[in-house]
Amino acid sequence: MNNFKKIGLSALAGSLVAMSAQAGDMSVTGSSAIYIANSDENAKTGYSMSDSVTFSGSTELDNGLTYSFSLELDGDAQSQKVDPAAASATATGSNVVDSHSIKLSSDSFGTLTFAGHGGTGVLDGWDDVTPNAYEESWDVVSGADASRVNGTTADNSWGYVSPSFSGATVRASYYTPSSGNASTYTDLGISISPEMVEGLEVGAAWGTSEATAGTEFDESTFYIKYAYGPVTVGYQESEIDAPTATDSDESQMFGISYAVTDSFSISYSESSFDLGSTTTDQESDGISASYTMGGITVAGAMNSTENIAGDTNTTADKDAYEMSISFAF
């Protein structure tokens, strides 16, 4: 009897493996990182880490479309990177599911994504596309990122990326909030890499949100990047057009990076946020570097910001740094 059970289980296992192979492919990837950072020179240096494992599966449908699914498991899903200024912050709850999405794609159709969590709108993905080796000039420093133009992102959102047509690619995102916003959010972007000018890329995006009924915010951004050999330079302007002047903001960003080798890059970047609620601009600049050895990357940034959120007090001028060593497998 035991022999028959073993044979039956072996046959069942074999049939399941065969069905899995016919249904599609499954892969597992992972990453981990250790950080040391000081988001304000007056705060203590803090250590933190991140780690995740991502399961990805895909199968091709009869009509030529590829269906794929991705699910990330992250022990710190509710507290990805601890801010050294609040080093006592820890993840709460037992949820370890982080980013997860499904996609339909093909060479002629493009890619349509539904993100249950971890989706990115066009403006959010393009909040600063100027070249850098690790972090943007307004990042790392505590509070300096609050005034950037980055659209709206939320769980259960849709995103679309078109195929490239003579170097032009169209992107769009959409979501209907269950709470928080009075209406749906949409944005649209287009990037162009002209075939006749190698290394040049230009892009623009527009989005509309309505957090309060009758109060509509229009956001937009434009950028240009050019790569020549190991050097890449970029410039970007963004704007929030709101019903009141105090809510209308503008920003300008610049960056230049140099690939010393295929493994080692350095960069310098700066940004200026002209906030409608104040007459004083927030000014940031920073340098960063990264070095990759196979699946290991060592990177760091040293940034400085003056007049955070338009505040002219000396306490609103901060220097900060962040260094990390990350592993991908």
Can you give the residue ranges of every domain in the chain? 128-143+163-169+186-329
**pLDDT tens-digit profile, the chain (329 residues):** 444 333 343 433 443 333 333 467 889 999 999 999 998 877 778 899 999 999 999 999 988 899 999 999 987 665 444 343 343 334 445 678 899 999 999 999 999 999 999 988 999 999 999 999 999 999 999 999 988 998 888 889 999 999 999 999 999 999 887 665 657 889 999 999 998 999 999 999 999 887 676 678 899 999 999 999 999 999 999 999 887 877 788 999 999 999 999 999 999 999 999 988 888 999 999 999 999 999 999 999 999 999 998 888 878 899 999 999 999 98
Within the chain, strands assigned E span 25-38, 46-60, 66-73, 97-106, 110-117, 157-161, 168-175, 185-192, 200-212, 215-228, 231-241, 249-259, 264-275, 282-293, 296-306, 318-328
Fold for 128-143+163-169+186-329, please state it.
Answer: Porin (2.40.160)
Q: From CA 169, how far away is CA 188, in angstroms rounded?
A: 11
Q: What is the DSSP string of 150-174?
A: -----SSEEEEEPPPBTTEEEEEEE
pTM of the predicted structure, to 2 decimals: 0.83
Q: From CA 25, how far away is CA 99, in angstroms rounded?
A: 20
